[in-house]
Amino acid sequence: MGYSLRDLYAVRGAEQDPPISLKTLPAIEALTAIHRGPYQEVGVAYTRLFEYMAEQGLELAGPSRALYLNPEEVTQEELMSEIQLPVK
């Protein structure tokens, strides 16, 4: 189940376990891929990004990021994730 900003604001002030916090991430130069399908298969997107990074002579410049793009609950096959690898 994903959460939109609207959902997060609705629970602001309520106790959460673990606590939820909003952060602004710094801008990065990144290789990105959109994975569509079950989260268990997202490794394919990471593998392709790392292969492309090596082919282009790029280096990893920090931890990867994953954005979960579905606003509502959907089937496993409809799940969409954006994978970002910061590069230099």
50-59, pLDDT tens digit by residue? Answer: 999 999 999 9
Burial of 66 (0-12, 13-18, 19+ CB in 10 A): middle
Inter-residue contact 76 to 1 (CB < 8 Å): no
pTM of the predicted protein model: 0.73
Buried b (16+ CB within 10 A) or exposed e, 34-65: ebebeeeebeebeeebeeeeeeeebeeeeeee
**Residue 87, amino acid:** V
Q: What is the pLDDT of residues 14-31, one digit of tens each?
A: 566 677 778 888 899 999
Structural domains of the chain, ranges and CATH numbers in brackets: 5-86 (3.20.80.10)
Contact 37, 79 (CB under 8 A): yes
